[in-house]
């Protein structure tokens, strides 16, 4: 198949680049071949100028840090009007949304969980307890960095991935974003709203209002820890997961929508994350220089 042949060709390119980088005293930390032909590199600063002379390199960019950014919510965009706009309503039913953020608290009533503090506190955030995850609302996801990850802290900027994308108690940003995107709604009784979105109760009956697409299902791609920013590498891992959630090499199960509520100072449209969004596939390896080795 053409796709397999292309993947093999990219793998060979990455092997050659890896040898060259190691020869300069650096190392390749990540490889990407689904949406981008790209590698991430750590290299002594005095060797970076030599990267331009390596064969097959089309572009180099520094790794950046990305911070949480959230400014709007469902009441400001008249979401309930869309729910009543046609037969059955535009509620997101049958759609999937990838939340690229700090994870999702799938024990929360907004996502169909019990809403009990004990359910959250009893959940080990580094592993999946039997029957806890995935859920009917949050149907998949993973943690690419670990709770202790902080991209701006040299003592905590090494990722320790685990399978559980539970949003840390000290964070909550990802759960907030996911709730805005597709939360069921939580009634003043503390229970998950399970009724119709065409004939919605008064908003005064809600402790937390429904999300924009309350019947959509979610993937939790956790790229932020308790504190601090994340990295370009973590974001690219999440983009790859959005394209192929089950990792079988087929994009048939790709998410319908991906949300990334982050910002970075002096950002441009030329970065690798923008190329990944556009699903471009360059003809030769693009090298992405990561954090410098100390």
pTM: 0.80
pLDDT band at residue 179 using 50, 70 and 90 as cut-offs: very high
The owner of tokens 């979105």 is 197
Instruction: Find residue 138's DSSP bridge partners.
Output: 218
Q: What tokens does 282 get?
A: 């360059």
Q: For residue 257, is pLDDT > 60?
A: yes
Q: What is the pLDDT of residue 268?
A: 56
Domain ranges of the chain: 2-64+283-289, 67-266
Q: Among 42, 24, 31, 32, which Cα is nearest to 291's?
A: 42
pLDDT tens, residue by residue, 223-243: 999 999 999 999 999 999 999
Q: How far is Cα 254 from Cα 214, in angstroms, rounded to an integer?
A: 19
Q: How far is Cα 197 from Cα 211, in angstroms, rounded to an integer?
A: 11
Q: What average pLDDT does range 260-268 have in this prediction?
A: 72
pLDDT band at residue 291 using 50, 70 and 90 as cut-offs: very low
Q: Is the dihedral of CA 198, 202, 205, 211 positive or negative?
A: positive
Measure CA 208 to chain center: 24
Q: What is the mean pLDDT of the chain?
A: 87
Is residue 60 within 8 Å of residue 47, measured between CB atoms? Answer: no
């Amino acid at each position: 198949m053409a796709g397999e042949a292309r993947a093999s060709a990219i793998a060979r390119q990455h092997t050659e680049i890896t040898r060259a980088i190691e020869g300069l005293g650096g190392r390749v930390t990540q490889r990407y071949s689904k949406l981008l032909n790209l590698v991430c590199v750590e290299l002594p600063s005095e060797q970076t100028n030599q990267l331009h002379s390596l064969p097959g390199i089309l572009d180099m960019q520094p790794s950046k840090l990305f911070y949480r950014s959230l400014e709007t919510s469902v009441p400001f965009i008249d979401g309930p009007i869309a729910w009543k706009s046609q037969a059955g309503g535009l509620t997101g039913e049958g759609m999937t949304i990838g939340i690229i953020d700090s994870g999702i608290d799938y024990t929360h009533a907004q996502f169909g969980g019990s809403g009990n503090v004990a359910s959250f506190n009893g959940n080990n955030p580094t592993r999946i307890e039997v029957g806890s995850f995935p859920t009917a609302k949050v149907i998949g996801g993973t943690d690419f960095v670990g709770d202790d990850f902080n991209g701006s802290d040299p003592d905590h900027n090494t990722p320790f991935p685990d399978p559980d994308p539970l949003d840390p108690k000290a964070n909550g940003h990802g759960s907030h974003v996911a709730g805005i995107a597709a939360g069921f709604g939580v009634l003043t009784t503390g229970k998950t709203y399970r009724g119709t979105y065409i004939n919605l109760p008064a908003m005064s009956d809600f402790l937390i209002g429904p999300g924009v697409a309350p019947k959509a299902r979610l993937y939790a791609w956790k790229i932020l820890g308790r504190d601090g920013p994340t990295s370009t590498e973590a974001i690219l891992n999440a983009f790859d997961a959005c394209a192929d959630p089950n990792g079988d090499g087929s994009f048939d199960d790709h998410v319908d929508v991906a949300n990334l509520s982050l910002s970075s100072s002096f950002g441009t449209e030329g970065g690798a994350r923008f190329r990944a969004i556009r699903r471009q596939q360059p003809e030769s390896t693009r090298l992405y220089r990561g954090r410098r080795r100390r």
